[in-house]
Structure 1
Amino acid sequence: MRDARRWVMWGAIAFGALFLTVALILAGVSVSFLADAERAPGTVVALEWRNDHNGASRKAREDDRPVAYPVVEFTSADGRLRTFRSSTGSNPPSYDRGEHVEVLYRADSPGDARINGFASLWLLPLIFGGIGLVFAGVGTAFAMARRRRS
């Protein structure tokens, strides 16, 4: 029983550390993107509604509501009109059709564009970081309590 608890404790710490590492990498990607990004005004031209089930159970699919992904048009520095679908969707929609947004994109890769918003830049690092902190914190708390007992 003791060995099982030890494995769970160290597993939680390792799992938390892994998620914290992923969060730091994702945050670094966002920071790097922001440092190199060109800015352009854009307009939400459509909302693409999708049911993203990803292998969810039948019950989960019945309770799911579709998610709206904004489709944005902007003119890049080379003068070309570009369109992209945001990778971040929500229900209710975060943006309305016709809404003006700031677009961030790399000059050498205008197809890699994002809306300059909290969710599109920081949501994944925060999710991974939060999960990592919880697991690493719980594992560390158990390790400290175990150490005090012995």
Structure 2
Amino acid sequence: MTLTQEQKKHLETLLIAGEELEAVRYLQDTLGLSAEEALQLTEKLDKTVEQSPAATMFKTMKHGSKHMMKDSKVGKWVGGIFMFFGLVMLGVCTYIFYTNYTFAQNAVIVKGEVTGFDTHYSSDDDGGSTLMYSSIFKYEYQGQEYEHTSDVSSSSPDYDEGDEVEILIDPNKPSKALVNEFWDRWFVIVILGFMGTMFTGLGYMAFRLF
């Protein structure tokens, strides 16, 4: 009732993989043992195999693979979240672009004059604050004066008081205006487009890698 080297290796492989039942059947078929005899021999061999370097390595790899699977799921979740927020930003960016474009197509151009600045403080990451300026424009349409405050703020005034700029207005609602300058028209779109592209790209890379 001896096993050849090949038979022993096959049994070790089954036992390392946790296939005790298959090992018992293999011993029954190979050596013609009864179920009880095959089970007893399998238990003896199992104790020996548990101490072998191959079994230790297999357990380590199995444990590591579980961690990798867990990390993989976390990576996919993080990637999915980044992609979601990125796509939301790109969607908002597209909506603002379309809205501004449609508004400009139907707008009337008038001359506006800088009359002052709206100021507020913006907090930074270091706990400090910066004084921000938003230009205030005065313009006239069909004999009536209107005032518009820029949606764009900066740490220093973009214009001097008295400067003249082109302003786009809705002829049906003259109080609705948009300064016809690059940053007033496209600043939010550029920022959202950049952030949305970055978040979507990073999320996609994380999703694919994991």
The TM-score bracket by the shorter chain reads: 0.7 to 0.9
Picking from 135, 140, 148, the partner of 1:70 is: 135
Unaligned runs of 5+ in 2: 1-69
Q: TM-score scaled by structure 2?
A: 0.62
Picking from 82, 86, 101, the partner of 2:146 is: 82
Q: Which has the higher contact order (CA 8 A, sep 6+)?
A: 1
Amino acid across the alignment from 1:68: Y
1:35 Cα offset (Å): 0.8
**1:135 matched to which residue of 2?**
199
Within 5 Å, which residues of 2 pair with 1:1-150? 1=70, 2-52=72-122, 60=127, 63-76=128-141, 78-146=142-210
CA distance in 2, matches of 1:108, 1:31: 17
1:52 Cα offset (Å): 4.5
Give the alignment's Cα RMSD to 1 decimal.
1.8
Q: Which has the larger radius of gyration?
A: 2
1:143 Cα offset (Å): 3.2
Which deviates further from its counterpart, 40-49 or 97-106? 40-49
Q: Which one has the bigger helix percentage?
A: 2
CA distance in 2, matches of 1:112, 1:87: 12
Aligned length: 140
Q: Which one has the bigger strand percentage?
A: 1
Q: TM-score scaled by structure 1?
A: 0.84
- Name the % identity: 22
